[in-house]
Amino acid sequence: MTAFAPNYETRKRVEAHPIASVGAKAVLVELPNGDTRSVAVPPGFSARPPAVGDMLVRYADGYLSHCPADVFLRDATAIAPERVAVVEEPRVPRFPLGGRPHP
């Protein structure tokens, strides 16, 4: 994926896009400009498989998740495009040395 560009605010700022199609190793997401992008997902991405219409959510540390769109949009507030700041690709490991999860 490209550099992290949070476009929604929940309790954290996240990047989220509607899922347009689901494959075995990737999902296709719809971007705000009408384009689509393929995003690789790891094996066993979720206990509940993603579905078309769900939101693919990327956190600042690179962690990927998905959520039904109605649930996500009920609790998230879109960030105005002029306030979306692109930041560098996350470099923080999800599980740093010592095995403790990143908060």
Q: Is domain 8-83 classified as CATH 2.40.50? A: yes
- Given a cut of 90, is residue 28 above it in pLDDT? yes
- The single-letter code of the amino acid at 20 is A
Interatomic CA distance for residues 21 and 35, integer angstroms: 13
Q: What is the pTM of this model?
A: 0.66
pLDDT reported for residue 41? 87
Cβ atoms of 91 and 58 closer than 8 Å: no
Model pLDDT for residues 47-103, shown as the tens digit of each residue: 788 899 999 998 888 888 899 999 988 888 888 777 666 555 444 444 444 444 444
Model pLDDT for residues 39-61, shown as the tens digit of each residue: 988 877 777 888 999 999 988 88
Q: Largest alpha-carbon pair distance within the chain?
A: 42
